[in-house]
Structure 1
Amino acid sequence: MADAKSIYPRGEAMRMAVRWLSEMHHCDLETIEEACRRYDLTPCEEEFMLKRFLSADHRKVVKGKAE
């Protein structure tokens, strides 16, 4: 959900964050968190980015549990 204080049109910050990540040529926890900070993504958008771009093995470590 777009925040009324956002300087970007709805969804534009997410597109810019994905574009930035693709330019970085690797996705790890640190680069995803940096993209979320740079583009002021919502917690929901950050969760989507983490689920979508981290490998399954890394997600287990981040969550602190084995699946």
Structure 2
Amino acid sequence: MATIMPQGELMRRAVKWIDEQRSETGQSFSALIDKAAVNFNLSPKDAEFLTGFFKEREETPRD
């Protein structure tokens, strides 16, 4: 039986999963976002949001 989750929870899990996979495998964000979209049943709009989110994060200077 499938568990119903709020859409926001799926996005949070996808972001966490992408971060973990990026650290472990070093794969590109675009490849991981594509995989996350399938694994977490995200819409194309959600995948587009994740692309912008990770792009912005990469461009932000870290102290």
Q: Give TM-score scaled by structure 1 length.
A: 0.61
Out of 8, 22, 39, the position equivalent to 2:5 is 8
Q: Which residue of 2 aligns with 1:62?
A: none
Deviation string, structure 1 residues 9-45 (Cα, Å, up to 9, x no partner): 2311101100101111244211111011100111111
3-state DSSP of counterpart to 1:40: coil
1:10–1:29: structure 2 CA closer, same or farther, 3 Å change rule? Answer: closer
CA RMSD, 1 decimal: 2.2
The yes-or-no answer on 1:51 pairing with 2:48 is no
Moved more, 9-18 or 20-29: 20-29
Q: Distance in 1 between matches of 2:48 and 2:6?
A: 20
Structure having the larger proportion of residues in helix? 2
Structure 2 stretches lacking a partner, 5+ long: none
CA distance in 2, matches of 1:14, 1:38: 11
Q: Distance in 2 between matches of 1:36 and 1:10?
A: 12
DSSP-derived class of the 1:17 partner: helix
Cα deviation, residue 52, structure 1: 1.6
Runs of 4+ displaced beyond 6 Å: none
The answer (yes or no) to whether the contact 2:33–2:50 under 8 Å persists in 1 is: yes
